[in-house]
A and B are shown apart, each in its own frame.
Chain A
Amino acid sequence: EAGVAQSPRYKIIEKRQSVAFWCNPISGHATLYWYQQILGQGPKLLIQFQNNGVVDDSQLPKDRFSAERLKGVDSTLKIQPAKLEDSAVYLCASSLGSGGRGETQYFGPGTRLLVL
Chain B
Amino acid sequence: DQQVKQNSPSLSVQEGRISILNCDYTNSMFDYFLWYKKYPAEGPTFLISISSIKDKNEDGRFTVFLNKSAKHLSLHIVPSQPGDSAVYFCAASDGTYKYIFGTGTRLKVLA
* Complexed CA–CA distance, A109 and B59 (Å): 25
Q: How many A-B residue pairs have CB under 8 A?
A: 54
Residues of B within 8 A of A (CB-CB), count? 24
Chain A interface SS verdict (over half): loop
CB proximity of A111 to chain B, nearest CB, Å: 11
Question: What are the residues of chain A within 8 A of B91 when measuring CB–CB?
Answer: 42
Given A40-B103, A42-B101, A45-B98, the answer on whether A107 and B93 have CB atoms closer than 8 Å is no
Interface centre among B4, B46, B49, B101 (most CB of A within 10 A): B101
Beta-carbon contact of B32 and A101 below 8 Å: yes
Interface centre among B49, B93, B97 (most CB of A within 10 A): B97
- Residue A61, interface by CB 8 Å: no
- Residue B60, interface by CB 8 Å: no
Q: Which one of B14-22, B37-45, B61-69, B71-79 contacts A?
A: B37-45
Given A104-B46, A108-B43, A110-B43, the answer on whether A43 and B101 have CB atoms closer than 8 Å is yes
Beta-carbon contact of A102 and B43 below 8 Å: no
Beta-carbon contact of A107 and B44 below 8 Å: yes
CB proximity of B92 to chain A, nearest CB, Å: 10
Residue in chain B with minimal CB distance to A3: B43
Interface centre among A9, A45, A103 (most CB of B within 10 A): A45
Given A107-B44, A109-B42, A110-B43, the answer on whether A101 and B102 have CB atoms closer than 8 Å is no
Residue in chain B with minimal CB distance to A50: B97
Given A43-B101, A45-B99, A100-B97, the answer on whether A93 and B43 have CB atoms closer than 8 Å is yes
Contact of A44 among B46, B93, B101 (CB under 8 A): B101
- Residue B96, interface by CB 8 Å: yes
Beta-carbon contact of B89 and A42 below 8 Å: yes
Beta-carbon contact of B43 and A55 below 8 Å: no
Question: What are the residues of chain B within 8 A of A109 when measuring CB–CB?
Answer: 41-43
Question: What are the residues of chain B within 8 A of A91 when measuring CB–CB?
Answer: 43-44
Question: What are the residues of chain A within 8 A of B95 when measuring CB–CB?
Answer: 101
Please list the residues of chain B having a beta carbon within 8 angstroms of any beta carbon in chain A.
4, 32, 36, 41-46, 49, 51, 89, 91, 93, 95-104
Please list the residues of chain A having a beta carbon within 8 angstroms of any beta carbon in chain B.
4, 9, 31, 40-45, 48, 55-56, 91, 93, 98-110
